[in-house]
């Protein structure tokens, strides 16, 4: 806790609600403001052109101002491809060329820097169309002490960073995805003047950042996500429920879970799948429903939509297992922490920082990305063994309480911010 009255401008390339990053920021801001007399200005995305007014809220000792940024809704179905051995080799060669040639200190300063600076910034999905205009306006209207970037790669993030640099406002970058994202050219270019770089996981931090990277990790309100706070579940069915709480988008792997459900059904193991989250693509939902019907499990797949924290907690309480067959570049996987706090063992693909969120074999299971057969086997093992589910649930709750409390998360952010503000000339 600090007594300094500071103003934070937060940019996340995220919406007001509906995803892991959104929930992370909402919980974080409320905890920071409960402890500090700060002003936090949160820029968030919306598809609604009519959402123009700012929202002001007094929280604890501080003030939260939410500012909408308009983005066009692409309703675009992502293409999901499992990496082949050729793709893995190609990516390794590409990374080697980038790290050893492009970012060779001599070659970069003499040749590549000017080329990169002249290239157009790649177009990203859901980019804020008025980021530069609003960021400039906010920086003129408020005395901003620090800009906190939760995203860096697109033209919108570049505009916010440029506005901060022009006004000598320090900025930091917090990576919510897997740490290999820190190696991309766009991220490296946009964060090279950052006063600090951190992330939600220490898995796979690039060598050049290992001595300066700040592991902020993740955190949840363990007093909210616990069994005793849920309503009594009087309508439990004989059919066990497997919950997948994530945005309904191909990168989160809902299609894999439906295939797994069908495989289990063929082996005589009945279960229901509950898909909870914001729908990023209506066409993908149609695809999932058609797939489930063709595989004969249409009645076993539930689409719950976007749930409040209370509603999500109740579904955790109803569920036997939490499944996370994600292909997304996960920083950590917040839902893995929530599930374990609720004593629901998770089964997840190994990608990004997910190994940091599960103790394999003790609090849940980690499965090789795309291995549907092993994923099904792990779910079957847990569905058929109530004692194992119970023991894993208890161990998972202890693990989360020890490692991922919301108070500890807020303290880590405070230290990160204050260090950047007080020592802006020094990268850490």
Q: What is the DSSP string of 324-380?
A: E---S-BSS-HHHHHHHHTT--EEEEE-TTHHHH--BTTTBEEEETT-HHHHHHHHH
In angstroms, the Cα distances linking 172 to 16, 134, 151, 285, 315 are 21, 19, 10, 36, 36
Question: CA 418 from chain center: how many Å?
Answer: 24
Q: In what order do the strands lie in the sheet with 241-245?
A: 301-305, 272-276, 241-245, 321-324, 346-350, 365-368
List Cα–Cα distances, 277 to 23, 72, 245, 252, 256, in angstroms.
12, 20, 6, 10, 16
Q: Which two tokens stand for residue 133?
A: 């205009």
User: Residue 1 in contact with residue 382, Cβ under 8 Å?
Assistant: no
Residues 6+ apart with CB under 8 A from 221: 27, 406
Instruction: For tokens 């995805």, name the residue.
Output: 177
pLDDT of residue 340: 97
Instruction: List the pLDDT tens digit at each of the 428 positions of the chain.
Output: 555 789 999 998 889 887 788 989 999 999 999 999 999 999 999 998 887 789 999 999 999 999 999 998 776 555 555 555 555 566 667 777 777 777 777 777 777 777 777 777 777 888 888 899 999 999 999 999 999 999 999 999 999 999 999 999 999 999 999 998 999 889 999 999 999 999 999 989 998 998 999 999 999 988 889 876 554 444 445 799 999 999 999 999 999 999 999 999 999 999 999 999 988 778 899 999 999 999 999 999 999 999 988 899 999 999 999 999 999 889 989 999 999 999 999 999 999 999 999 999 999 999 999 999 999 999 999 999 999 999 999 999 999 999 898 998 999 999 999 999 986 644 44
Per DSSP, the three-state class of 143 is coil
Question: In angstroms, rounded to a whole number, what is the distance separating the alpha carbons of residues 126 and 192?
Answer: 24
Q: How far is CA 37 from the centre of its chain?
A: 27
Q: Which residues pair with 62 in a beta bridge?
A: 59
The pLDDT score that the predictor gives to residue 426 is 46
> 185: closest CA among 122, 135, 241?
122
What is the helix (H) or strand (E) element at residue 391, kind and residue range? helix 386-403
CB within 8 A of 268, min separation 6: which ones? none
Question: What pLDDT score does 106 carry?
Answer: 74
Domains of the chain: 7-73+126-219+406-422 (3.40.50.2000), 85-118 (no CATH), 227-403 (3.40.50.2000)
CA distance 102 to 110: 10
């Amino acid at each position: 806790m600090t007594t300094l009255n500071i103003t934070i401008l937060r940019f996340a390339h995220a919406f007001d609600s509906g995803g892991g990053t959104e929930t992370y920021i909402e919980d974080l801001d409320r905890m920071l403001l409960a402890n500090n007399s700060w002003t936090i200005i949160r820029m968030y995305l919306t598809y609604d052109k009519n959402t123009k007014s700012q929202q002001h809220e007094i929280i604890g000792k501080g003030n939260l101002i939410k500012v909408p940024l308009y983005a066009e809704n692409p309703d675009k179905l992502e293409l999901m491809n499992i990496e082949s051995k050729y793709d893995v080799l190609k990516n390794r060669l590409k990374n080697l060329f980038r790290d050893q040639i492009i970012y060779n200190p001599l070659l970069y300063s003499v040749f590549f820097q000017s080329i990169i600076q002249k290239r157009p910034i790649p177009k990203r999905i859901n980019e804020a169309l008025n980021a530069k205009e609003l960021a400039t306006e906010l920086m003129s209207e408020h005395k901003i002490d620090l800009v906190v970037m939760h995203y860096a790669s697109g033209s919108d993030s570049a505009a916010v960073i440029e506005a901060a640099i022009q006004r000598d406002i320090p900025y930091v970058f917090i990576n919510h995805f897997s740490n290999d994202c820190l190696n991309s050219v766009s991220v490296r270019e946009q964060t090279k003047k950052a006063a600090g770089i951190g992330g939600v996981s220490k898995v796979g931090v690039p060598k050049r950042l290992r001595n300066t990277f700040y592991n902020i990790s993740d955190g949840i309100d363990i007093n909210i996500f616990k069994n005793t706070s849920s309503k009594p579940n009087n309508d439990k069915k004989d059919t066990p429920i497997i919950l997948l709480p994530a945005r309904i988008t191909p990168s989160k792997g809902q299609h894999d879970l439906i295939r797994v459900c069908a495989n289990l059904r063929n082996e005589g193991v009945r279960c229901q799948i509950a898909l909870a989250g914001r729908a990023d693509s209506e066409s993908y939902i149609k695809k999932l429903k058609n797939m489930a019907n063709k595989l004969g499990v249409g009645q076993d797949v539930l689409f719950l939509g976007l749930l409040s924290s209370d509603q999500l907690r109740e579904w955790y309480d109803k569920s036997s297992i939490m499944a996370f067959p994600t292909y997304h570049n996960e920083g950590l996987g917040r839902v893995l922490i929530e599930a374990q706090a609720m004593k629901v063992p998770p089964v997840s693909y190994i990608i990004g920082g997910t190994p940091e969120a599960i103790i394999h074999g003790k609090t849940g299971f980690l499965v090789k990305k795309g291995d549907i057969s092993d994923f099904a086997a792990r779910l079957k093992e847990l569905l058929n063994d109530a004692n194992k589910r119970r023991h894993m649930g208890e161990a998972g709750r202890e693990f989360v309480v020890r490692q991922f409390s919301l108070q500890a998360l807020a303290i880590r952010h405070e230290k990160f911010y204050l260090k950047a503000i007080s020592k802006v000339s020094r990268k850490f």
